[in-house]
Structure 1
Amino acid sequence: MSATHDVLILGGGGAGCSAALHLALRGARVALFERGLVGSQASGVNYGGVRQNGRHPAELPIARRSREIWARLPELIGTDAEFEVTGHLKLARSAAEEAELADYMAVAREHDLPLELIGSNSIHARWPWLGPRVVAGAFAPEDGAANPRLLAPAFARAARAAGAEIKEHAPVSEIAHDGALFTLTIGDRTWRAPVALNCMGYWGGEIAARFGEAVPVAPLAPNMLVSEPIPYFIEPNMGVVGGDVYLRQIRRGNVIFGSGRGTSDPAVPWSRPLPEPTLTAMARAIELVPRLAGVQVIRSWTGIDGDMPDGLPVIGPSRTTPGLIHAFGFSGHGFMLGPGIGAILAELVLDGRTDVPLHPFRIDRFALGSAA
């Protein structure tokens, strides 16, 4: 049995499911394939930050585009995925880190990102529960957080309702290209399409390598924790210069935070948090918010994402295979970008272009070296 579609999407994370919906809404015949359940890897087990603050300048146009979609999730997918605009507070713990925050203000202005630089006296007056090591902060009022377990499944449901075929428990082991069509076979069924979107996270590197575009992607397993519920007092989503700890509290009272990396085996796939970074995360969280001392941690977890050497994802057309478009390797910060990435991929497929600059994310940038 065979079926012909316009687009095959490999990977059911936030980017893949968003692409399926945006394509289906414009009449494209779409089939999406996910090895497990949609949102079961990095897109569904991350920290949940919806953050523009502090992003690499190359990512900010995508983040700005995605933030607009986050604002209208209920009309697009039928849920807000518990998205709450709390603001994002990036903290400095030294004069050098404060200087980094000050330098980033120019980047924020260039991209019309509202951002407020807050000095030591003001920051402790505004958030008196911050620890004494905090010397400054940058506050982005448009940012916030959401529930990662809700986002990709909601996009998938909306895509299916719009006519997309969503195949779960459908691992992609073989995909071929004959110069005109991609062919993917699972069991006794075959799908064909002129376009394939590689949205497979860490495993996107394997797909790229099959088409002669090997990249140095590594598995990333962020170490995350959640506490027992306590009275709500931490409103902003928080991070630090250097990114070695991040922390937020949900309205139910639980504090979600993380630091360091767990361990994983992508071949299984299997991932676990580790005790050492878990203890480090607790200490760093208490340093930022001393009132957390003595609060009980009730769960720790991780997942598998693709980590790139420069921290930037691969996004854009293949350099070897017509019709193949990549979007993988988000290096632990792709959750917020997913809705926007899907819209951008749909534009690349149906319009042949997008207004969002993608040159910094091209797949051949590693081979180009210093000439990039």
Structure 2
Amino acid sequence: MDVIVLGGGLMGSCTAFFLARRGVKTRLIEHSHIGAGATVASFGNIRRTGRYLPQLPLAHRSLGLWNQSQKLLGRDIEFRATGHLRLIFDKDSLHDMRCFADDAKPWGFEIEEIGKAEIAKRFPGLGPSAIAASFSPNDGSANPRLSAPAFADAAAREGVEIISQANVRSVTHDGKCFSVVTGKGTFESSVLLNCTGAWGTKIAETFNEPVPLTIRGPQMGVTEPFPHKIHPVVGMWSRESGAYLRQVERGNIVFGGGVPQVDVDPAIGYAKIDPARLPQQLSKVVKLVPALKNLTIIRQWSGCEGYVADGLPIMGASSTTDGLFHAFGFSGHGFQLGPGVGDAMSELITTGKCETPLAPFAISRFHKDS
């Protein structure tokens, strides 16, 4: 067996790495730079709280690999299991949190409910107007700018051929073999994995299985260093767009959320931040940590993420073409899943089955009547 992994974000880089560890001849082809798509736009959140429940087995699998990341990769990608604190400011959100907590227990995930007084005691300065919070102590964050390149480098050491800035022009299949035509040559394989993120549906359309997917980008920012130590990743339970933040070890505060995602011009290929949305976003960030009110924002950015209509990713074998597999459309919540996706897809590709249930993410869910 030989495999082409198309797309060098976190999903593709992780899958290439785990395929190589299973002894598979693998080539990783990226249209642009490794990790330059949705991965580089990511907040770096490694959370299980609030996930679609059937996704939790994959999230558990991934967390186990994040915990092994330094050993696996031979370098620090700043994974820190600092915990995930999600603040609650209204009764509806408290109800939502308690329902999720009850429903998640059979899936092997428990979160702690913390009252107002306990928040002030354990996490001083965070959410003083919050009425409660949830806390997941084993979750945390990692650096998205380091993660995909680190997995790709580790994959290369395992024998994977990395071809970046390849300017992919076409992908075809002659019934036996896939052919990927790029600006750096034509490459063939018996198996193709589509990890092209926001462009995943274009590859799927080539093989008669389109996916309803829109392209949007987050609105992210980072502040100057701040002396106070905010240990957990901090988020918000909200039926609207909730803000989130984390403090990196250099002291800066990375933040996002609080406003709808930014639209992407397909001709450009990535989103640009909208300065008019910043006041609304910052009002929610300051609600999480009032002491941030007077900090200077030193940079803002966005990116390009693929959002599937039902909010769930596409993972698994093609419904039309033997040897074709998909892992794309993670709808803004894929970073935590990256290593688990790579491990699970490598298992599926090499053995034809996967110990982690992937049926809810099958591409065939959009083609049941076709």
TM-score range, shorter chain: over 0.9
| Pair 68,188 (structure 1): closer, same or farther in 2 beyond 3 Å | closer
Q: For residue 192 of structure 2, give the secondary structure of its aligned residue in structure 1.
A: strand
Pick from 163, 176, 188 the counterpart of residue 180 of structure 1: 176
Alignment of 1:164-313 (within 5 A): 164-187=160-183, 189-242=185-238, 243-259=241-257, 260=259, 261-313=261-313
Q: Structure 2 counterpart of 1:121, which letter?
A: A
Cα deviation for residue 187 of structure 1 reads 4.1
The residue aligned with 1:337 is 337
Can you list the C-alpha shifts for 1:74-110, whole angstroms capped at 9, x where unaligned?
1211123111111001121111100111111123321
Q: For residue 246 of structure 2, give the secondary structure of its aligned residue in structure 1.
A: strand
Q: Conserved in 2, the CA contact under 8 Å of 1:34 and 1:168?
A: yes
The residue aligned with 2:29 is 33
Distance 1:206 1:184 in 2: 14
RMSD in angstroms over aligned alpha carbons? 1.5
Can you list the C-alpha shifts for 1:298-342, whole angstroms capped at 9, x where unaligned?
111011010012211011111111111110000111111111101
Length-normalised TM-score, structure 2:
0.95
Distance 2:340 2:55 in 1: 11
Distance 1:210 1:336 in 2: 29
Q: Structure 1 counterpart of 2:348, which letter?
A: L
Length-normalised TM-score, structure 1:
0.94
Cα deviation for residue 47 of structure 1 reads 0.5
Alignment of 1:61-140 (within 5 A): 61-140=57-136
Distance 2:145 2:18 in 1: 20
Q: Conserved in 1, the CA contact under 8 Å of 2:166 and 2:183?
A: no
Q: For residue 272 of structure 1, give the secondary structure of its aligned residue in structure 2.
A: coil
Distance 1:298 1:107 in 2: 40
Pick from 155, 162, 173 the counterpart of residue 159 of structure 1: 155
The residue aligned with 1:358 is 358
Q: Conserved in 2, the CA contact under 8 Å of 1:263 and 1:273?
A: no
Q: For residue 63 of structure 1, give the secondary structure of its aligned residue in structure 2.
A: helix
Alignment of 1:2-13 (within 5 A): 6-13=2-9
Q: For residue 44 of structure 1, give the secondary structure of its aligned residue in structure 2.
A: helix
Q: Structure 2 counterpart of 1:71, which letter?
A: N
The residue aligned with 1:15 is 11
Q: For residue 349 of structure 1, give the secondary structure of its aligned residue in structure 2.
A: helix
Distance 1:48 1:90 in 2: 16
- Mean alpha-carbon deviation: is it higher for 330-339 or for 102-111? 102-111
Distance 2:36 2:319 in 1: 29
Q: Conserved in 2, the CA contact under 8 Å of 1:114 and 1:142?
A: no
Cα deviation for residue 291 of structure 1 reads 1.0
Cα deviation for residue 117 of structure 1 reads 1.0
What 5-or-longer segments of structure 1 have no aligned partner? none
Q: Structure 1 counterpart of 2:243, which letter?
A: V
Q: For residue 8 of structure 1, give the secondary structure of its aligned residue in structure 2.
A: strand
Distance 1:151 1:188 in 2: 25
Cα deviation for residue 234 of structure 1 reads 1.4
Q: Structure 1 counterpart of 2:347, which letter?
A: E
Q: Conserved in 2, the CA contact under 8 Å of 1:24 and 1:162?
A: yes
- Mean alpha-carbon deviation: is it higher for 100-109 or for 48-57? 100-109
Q: For residue 59 of structure 1, give the secondary structure of its aligned residue in structure 2.
A: helix
Q: Conserved in 2, the CA contact under 8 Å of 1:9 and 1:20?
A: yes
Q: Conserved in 2, the CA contact under 8 Å of 1:232 and 1:251?
A: no
Distance 2:180 2:333 in 1: 29
Q: For residue 219 of structure 1, give the secondary structure of its aligned residue in structure 2.
A: strand
Can you list the C-alpha shifts for 1:10-49, whole angstroms capped at 9, x where unaligned?
1001110011111111211111111111101111221011
Cα deviation for residue 236 of structure 1 reads 0.9
Q: Conserved in 2, the CA contact under 8 Å of 1:20 and 1:156?
A: yes
Distance 1:283 1:125 in 2: 24
Can you list the C-alpha shifts for 1:239-260, whole angstroms capped at 9, x where unaligned?
1123521111112111111122
Distance 2:131 2:175 in 1: 58
| Pair 172,187 (structure 1): closer, same or farther in 2 beyond 3 Å | closer
Cα deviation for residue 61 of structure 1 reads 0.8
* Aligned-residue identity in percent: 42
The residue aligned with 1:321 is 321
Cα deviation for residue 188 of structure 1 reads 6.8
Distance 2:12 2:219 in 1: 24
> Number of residue pairs matched?
365
Distance 1:351 1:292 in 2: 50
What 5-or-longer segments of structure 2 have no aligned partner? none
Q: Structure 1 counterpart of 2:186, which letter?
A: T
Please state if 1:346 is matched with 2:346.
Answer: yes
Q: Structure 2 counterpart of 1:127, which letter?
A: F
